[in-house]
């Protein structure tokens, strides 16, 4: 099978407007001085945006009323336009499809649990990794998101969670659209902003942030060098190169052994348990011998396995593994001493992560009355 992989960066079609989440404090101060505003407003704005999750300058009552609009235009342009905001699971799951300034669509999902509120965010519009079971992978890469477009999803999710009484946003998983590591420079800045204390950032604990990757080894090494204790999740999906070459085509460049070697180095430096993602696909990767092989690869490592029941994408030939097969897979991994959990699925009534929600909006043109494809999606909370 030959699959074109997009590793080079596509040129952005139109430059995203400047936003305070793209600038450091000094950058904010100089943008303010250009519109004749005192430097101290930078801190006010950053407190409001990062700390109180206010994204609209006209609502910032600590700014002079006459200046709010000008300040908003200069530093808080609207980056994300909600084209859909749906909820399910009794309101505990909220899914947003955002339209970006150039028309690109991305999605975020909020999942409220008794002990945490998790946002699943996108790092790219589309994805170039071409994993055949993933809805996003089918459409190719549109473009990288800017740092501010990533951070603004986090801030918007925090705001929505608070407005809906779901609680305080505590966890972030980069499991929406895109391959976060393929957008490394923007991801790196976004991780800093998400984890820096207010007013320099959103102030979330690095331990509550999960970066999920197909296994871009050079970027895993860059993340390791950051020494930021975020959780690394590796989308393995097969323990052997033959099958992984097909399920995660970038495996033709970085093999299972190389990816896991980079993951173990990450675990050693950060002391963080690596999460191994494994989508259970009926009769494809769910055989007992593959569970045993996976167990051998992971035994004794600082790792745990997160099995994801496959969400069949529309038109896909693949299905989720039967529960009994899944249970046997879990049993064998645990017998090998590998901590294993099966991911809870959220959002069965409305499409969510993995690109299906944005895809259903795109297919329906600009009509917001479009019904999403039935079948549901797994929205996931891997950070534990």
- Nearer of residues 19 and 237 to ligand SAH, judged by Cβ: 237
The SS3 assignment for 116 reads: strand
| CA 35 and chain centroid, separation | 35
Q: How far is the CB of 221 from ligand SAH (least distance, A)?
A: 17
What is the radius of gyration, based on Cα positions, of the chain?
A: 21
- In order, the DSSP letters of 278-311 are EEEBTTTT--HHHHHHHHHHHTTSSEEEEEEE--
Task: Please report which helix (H) or strand (E) contains residue 142, including its range.
Answer: strand 141-144
Residue from 311, 340, 360, 379 that binds ligand SAH (CB under 6 A)?
311
**Could you confirm whether 354 is annotated as catalytic?**
yes
Torsion 232-233-235-239 (CA) sign? positive
If one asks whether residue 179 binds ligand SAH (CB under 6 A), the answer comes out as yes
If one asks whether residue 245 binds ligand SAH (CB under 6 A), the answer comes out as no
**Could you confirm whether 149 is annotated as catalytic?**
no
Binding track, positions 128-147, relative to ligand SAH; x by CB under 6 A: -x-x-xx-------------
Query: To the nearest 5 percent, what fractions of the chain are helix, strand and coil?
Result: 40, 20, 40
- Among residues 28, 120, 157, 354, the one annotated as catalytic is 354
If one asks whether residue 279 binds ligand SAH (CB under 6 A), the answer comes out as yes
- Nearer of residues 49 and 98 to ligand SAH, judged by Cβ: 98
- Nearer of residues 235 and 270 to ligand SAH, judged by Cβ: 235
Contacts of 29 (CB under 8 A, 6+ apart): 39, 42
Instruction: Select the span of 69-77, 206-214, 219-227, 334-342 touching ligand SAH (CB under 6 A).
Output: 206-214
Q: How far is the CB of 342 from ligand SAH (least distance, A)?
A: 12
CA distance 366 to 355: 17
CA distance 210 to 109: 14
- List b or e across 207-232, with b for residues whose CB sees 16 or more CB atoms inside 10 angstroms: ebbbbbbbbbbebbeebbeeebbbbb
Q: How far is the CB of 240 from ligand SAH (least distance, A)?
A: 17
Number of residues that bind ligand SAH (CB under 6 A): 18
- Nearer of residues 274 and 354 to ligand SAH, judged by Cβ: 354
Residue from 147, 183, 213, 270 that binds ligand SAH (CB under 6 A)?
213
Name the DSSP class of 320.
B
* CB 270 within 8 Å of CB 302: no
Site for ligand SAH in 93-132 (CB under 6 A): 129, 131
If one asks whether residue 285 binds ligand SAH (CB under 6 A), the answer comes out as no
The site for ligand SAH (CB under 6 A) is made up of: 129, 131, 133-134, 175, 179, 212-214, 235, 277, 279, 308, 310-311, 313, 354, 378
**Which residues are known catalytic residues?**
107, 354
């Amino acid at each position: 099978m030959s699959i074109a992989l997009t590793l080079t960066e596509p040129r952005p079609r139109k430059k995203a407007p400047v936003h305070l989440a793209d600038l450091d404090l000094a950058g904010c101060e100089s943008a303010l001085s250009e519109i004749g505003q005192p430097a101290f407003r930078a801190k006010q704005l950053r407190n409001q945006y990062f700390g109180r999750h206010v994204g609209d300058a006209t609502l910032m009552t600590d700014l002079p009323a006459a200046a709010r609009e000008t300040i908003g235009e200069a530093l808080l342009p609207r980056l994300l336009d909600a084209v859909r905001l749906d909820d399910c699971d009794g309101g505990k799951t909220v899914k947003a499809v955002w339209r970006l300034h150039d028309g690109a669509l991305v999605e975020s999902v909020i999942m409220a649990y008794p002990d945490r509120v998790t946002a699943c965010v996108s790092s790219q519009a589309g994805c170039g990794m071409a994993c055949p079971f993933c809805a996003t992978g089918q459409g190719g890469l549109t473009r990288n998101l800017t740092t501010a477009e990533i951070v603004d999803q986090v801030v918007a999710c925090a705001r929505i969670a608070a407005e809906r009484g779901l609680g305080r946003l505590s966890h972030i998983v980069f499991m929406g659209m895109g391959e976060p590591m393929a957008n490394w420079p923007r991801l790196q800045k976004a991780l800093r902003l998400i984890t820096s204390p207010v007013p320099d950032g959103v102030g979330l604990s690095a331990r509550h942030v999960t970066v999920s990757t197909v296994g871009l080894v050079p970027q895993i090494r860059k993340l390791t060098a950051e020494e930021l204790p975020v959780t690394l999740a590796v989308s393995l999906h097969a323990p052997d190169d033959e099958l992984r070459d097909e399920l995660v085509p970038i495996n033709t460049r970085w093999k299972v052994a190389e990816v896991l070697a980079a993951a173990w180095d990450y675990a050693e430096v950060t002391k963080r348990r690596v999460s191994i993602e494994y989508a259970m696909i009926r009769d494809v990767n769910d055989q007992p011998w593959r569970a045993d092989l996976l167990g051998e690869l992971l035994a004794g490592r600082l790792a745990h396995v997160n099995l994801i029941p496959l969400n069949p994408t529309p038109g896909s030939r693949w299905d989720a593994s039967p529960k009994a097969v899944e249970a046997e897979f879990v049993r064998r991994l645990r017998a090998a001493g590998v901590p294993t959990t099966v991911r809870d699925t959220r959002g069965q009534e409305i499409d969510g992560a993995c690109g299906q929600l944005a895809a259903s909006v795109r297919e329906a043109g600009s009509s917001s009355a479009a019904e999403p494809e039935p079948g549901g999606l797994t929205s996931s909370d891997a950070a534990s």
